[in-house]
Structure 1
Amino acid sequence: MALSFEQGPIRPPSEAASLLLRLTRNCPWNKCAFCRSYKGETFSRRSVEEIKNDIDTVVKLCRSVREISRKSGFGGLLNLDMLIKLYNSGDYQLFHVASWLHNGGKTVFLQDANSLVMKTADVVEILKYLKERLPSIERVTTYARSSTLARKSVEELTALKQAGLSRIHVGMESGSDEVLKLINKGATAQQHIEAGRRVKQSGISLSEYVILGMGGKQWAREHALETARVLNMINPDFIRLRSLTVAEGTPLSQKVQNGEFEEETEAEVLTGEKLFIEHLDGIQSNLVSDHSMNLLEEVQGKLPADKPAMLATIDRFLALPEREKQNFILGKRWGVYRVLDDMRDPSQYARVAAALDRLEKEGKYQATLSYLKNQVI
């Protein structure tokens, strides 16, 4: 019988090389209007014993990987040929553990959406056991909701830090109470501030996620300004940008159909991003654009030093003739372009231009963009 341990469905892009270990199932809130990740699923906490058993299973899988490598003539090494062999075996978890070891076996992400809703003492016990059984681990991260963190004392968070929790990822989405209410986030701007400050005070690294375009046309300016204000009061280690895509079947898509929410154009979203970055002040955060949904992934850097360069990149796009803007938008969503300079390749530019002409002639340009964006989320 194959060894297995429980894993959840999602993780941050920055945790691609991490071991995924599930502490809770799904999301205890599960009401955000834009999110479809856990819809229809029930939240539950796993027992400490279950989780410890999963950690033991990972240890056994690590041994199995080394043994398979030796028996296959790789001398216990985890090279590319060995990874291909394990991938082709169809045992996903064995391959996952092997990939993790291949990447150093140093990072772990604790799933699912809000595992710090567990008792602090239980999480501390799990963290200590994890580090004891897998001593190569150097970084442990997890998602948490601001409403949960705001109920934790600095002493509790410090205990988690001392037990081995390195970083917390928080979905702020917006610092505007109007927008937070619109998307039914279940948190207020003040809770975001209180939670973020407590995490920072504990010494745990903090990543705050912001969704560009989340205010729609009605709250675009307030979304940008209030989100910057809240982040200025927190000074997180990382500000991670995401871009709104209204997924079918979500409450937000219903609001769009009912006329309660009007999405911004790509250029309007970037105008809001510019306003947002302009008003980030007095902080030393790393602004990170680590998702392909962001139109200008190259807009990232260390504040305040890199702010002028980030704003200049946005201005460069906004100054393009309308046809070139459309060309880049289509090329980026299609995967032909990654950065603005990719448009300088004559063959790629011509390829996108031909597709743009055809889609406009057929009246399918906007529908195609929507389709392509939905494939990414």
Structure 2
Amino acid sequence: MFIEQGPIRPPSEAGSLLIRVTRNCPWNRCAFCKTYKKEKFSRRPLADILQDIDTVRRVAEQVEQMSRQQGPAGRVTAEVVQEAGARHGHLHYHVAAWLYYGGKSVFLQDANSLIVKTAELVQIIKYIRSVFPAVDRITTYARANTAARKTEGELRELREAGLSRIHMGMESGSDTVLKFIQKGITAADLLEAARKIRGAGLSLCWYIMPGLGGREYSREHALETAAVINAGNPDFIRFRTLSVLKGTPLYEMMKNGEFTPLEEDEAVEEQRLLLASLQGVTTAVVSDHILNLLQELEGTLPGDKDRMLGIIDRYLALSPAEKANYQLGRRAGVYAALDDMKNPNRYRYVEKLLRDVDGPESLQKTLDRIRRQFV
């Protein structure tokens, strides 16, 4: 059995069932992104989507039968997940893993499912909920200008059908930066989308890219992004530190001297300026991406603001040697948080790695190379 699935989903949707509603990205011009380059956007036929949902139901029934034969009290265990994959392939593994994580969350792919007509999207969401009554959370990606074109009433229809959250690539609140990276939206689009989404009772998650303005626009990027967050008050902001990838227009801009990427410390300083500038919001800050140097930088505003700034200040107060150790240790997967440096065995191991790196310039190249492997 087979269903069509897209290439990506947010890290927070790792345990979700993936249902592909559209293929690729209708904009597909962002200078930093290579995910859908050379791929044509299309809307999938409704019948194909509903058929995929039916296929998942049949696979789920097979997995549940396996679990009754092998799992304690019929539960889908990790062993059942592995056997389902080994015996039947990827789809069975994916569905079994979804059931293992509770079978309650669904993510609609690809980059901008909200572009589908509202009535059709309502039908898809309702069908998912009818086939899988345990599902209590359905989310999707959307572009800001697409969401802004929907009426608040349409978005409320989607929420009443069962849509829970919209993930949105904000990237920056600076119109200068948004234009530079060819995002195809404005700060006004972001705020109009936020007003309608939150007015409809949907959860909104904005993704922000520290470093996206380069050295040229770093301060503007931080301050104007903070200003848009202050005005929009999204439920979540998630940091996705920039890594300039080969094969993207931004990489060519970097080679041509039009864009100067930030080093690790500069990106952290930019994050501090942004975070310090947030006022009057009740937003949750999440740093759940491997490209973020300070992945422990998480909390809810306003209560956790000082604690999060303290994490940044603690890093910035490290000596140059300690910073180099943490940067390499974090990128090499030895450290997950600053406190991990207190482990003498880990610290010595990273020091050994550093001895193989010839000076600051070589360290920066090493860090860049490791980061590019993550995306």
Scaled by the length of structure 2, the TM-score of the pair is 0.97
Unpaired segments ≥5 residues, structure 2 = none
In the other structure, the counterpart of 1:168 is 166
Sequence identity (%)? 50
Query: Aligned match of 2:264 in 266, 269, 276?
Result: 266
Aligned residue type for 2:327: I
8 Å CA contact retained: 2:71, 2:80? no
SS, match of residue 209 in structure 1: strand
In the other structure, the counterpart of 2:156 is 158
Q: 1:319 to 1:74 in 2, by over 3 A?
A: closer
**Per-residue displacement from partner, 1:172-208 (whole Å, max 9, x unpaired)?**
0000000001110010011011111110000000000
Q: CA offset at residue 129 of structure 1?
A: 1.1
Q: CA offset at residue 75 of structure 1?
A: 6.5
Matches for 1:228-239 after TM superposition, within 5 Å: 228-239=226-237
Aligned residue type for 2:300: K
In the other structure, the counterpart of 1:63 is 61
Mean alpha-carbon deviation: is it higher for 68-77 or for 209-218? 68-77
In the other structure, the counterpart of 2:15 is 17
Q: CA offset at residue 361 of structure 1?
A: 5.8
Q: CA offset at residue 90 of structure 1?
A: 5.4
SS, match of residue 207 in structure 1: strand
Aligned residue type for 1:312: G
SS, match of residue 212 in structure 1: coil
Determine the C-alpha separation between the residues in 1 that align with 2:121 and 2:40.
Answer: 21
Q: CA offset at residue 105 of structure 1?
A: 0.8
**Per-residue displacement from partner, 1:230-272 (whole Å, max 9, x unpaired)?**
0111100001111000011100000000000001111111111
SS, match of residue 135 in structure 1: coil
Q: Does the alignment pair 1:203 with 2:201?
A: yes
Aligned residue type for 2:129: K
8 Å CA contact retained: 1:107, 1:139? yes
In the other structure, the counterpart of 1:313 is 311
Determine the C-alpha separation between the residues in 2 that align with 1:267 and 1:77.
Answer: 47
Q: CA offset at residue 159 of structure 1?
A: 0.4
8 Å CA contact retained: 2:299, 2:308? yes
**Per-residue displacement from partner, 1:259-303 (whole Å, max 9, x unpaired)?**
000011111111110000011100000011111110001111000
Q: CA offset at residue 331 of structure 1?
A: 0.5
In the other structure, the counterpart of 1:290 is 288
Q: CA offset at residue 76 of structure 1?
A: 3.9
Aligned residue type for 1:375: Q
8 Å CA contact retained: 1:8, 1:26? yes
Q: CA offset at residue 72 of structure 1?
A: 5.2
Q: Does the alignment pair 1:6 with 2:4?
A: yes
**Per-residue displacement from partner, 1:28-80 (whole Å, max 9, x unpaired)?**
00000000111111100011111111111111111111223345576643122
Query: Aligned match of 1:247 in 245, 248, 261?
Result: 245
Aligned residue type for 1:11: R
Q: CA offset at residue 87 of structure 1?
A: 2.6
Matches for 1:272-283 after TM superposition, within 5 Å: 272-283=270-281
Determine the C-alpha separation between the residues in 2 that align with 1:276 and 1:6.
Answer: 39
In the other structure, the counterpart of 2:86 is 88
Aligned residue type for 2:208: V
8 Å CA contact retained: 1:193, 1:230? yes
Aligned residue type for 2:290: S
Matches for 1:91-110 after TM superposition, within 5 Å: 91-110=89-108
8 Å CA contact retained: 2:71, 2:77? no
Aligned residue type for 1:66: E
Determine the C-alpha separation between the residues in 2 that align with 1:73 and 1:357.
Answer: 49
**Matched residue count:** 375
Aligned residue type for 1:192: L
SS, match of residue 186 in structure 1: coil
Aligned residue type for 1:206: L
Aligned residue type for 1:102: Y
Q: CA offset at residue 328 of structure 1?
A: 0.4
8 Å CA contact retained: 1:74, 1:82? no
In the other structure, the counterpart of 1:42 is 40
Aligned residue type for 2:105: T
Q: CA offset at residue 354 of structure 1?
A: 1.9
Determine the C-alpha separation between the residues in 2 that align with 1:31 and 1:265.
Answer: 25
Aligned residue type for 1:39: K
Determine the C-alpha separation between the residues in 2 that align with 1:293 and 1:118.
Answer: 31
In the other structure, the counterpart of 2:373 is 375
Mean alpha-carbon deviation: is it higher for 103-112 or for 367-376? 367-376
Query: Aligned match of 1:136 in 106, 127, 134?
Result: 134
Scaled by the length of structure 1, the TM-score of the pair is 0.97
Aligned residue type for 1:288: V
Q: CA offset at residue 346 of structure 1?
A: 1.1
Unpaired segments ≥5 residues, structure 1 = none
8 Å CA contact retained: 2:210, 2:240? yes
In the other structure, the counterpart of 2:191 is 193
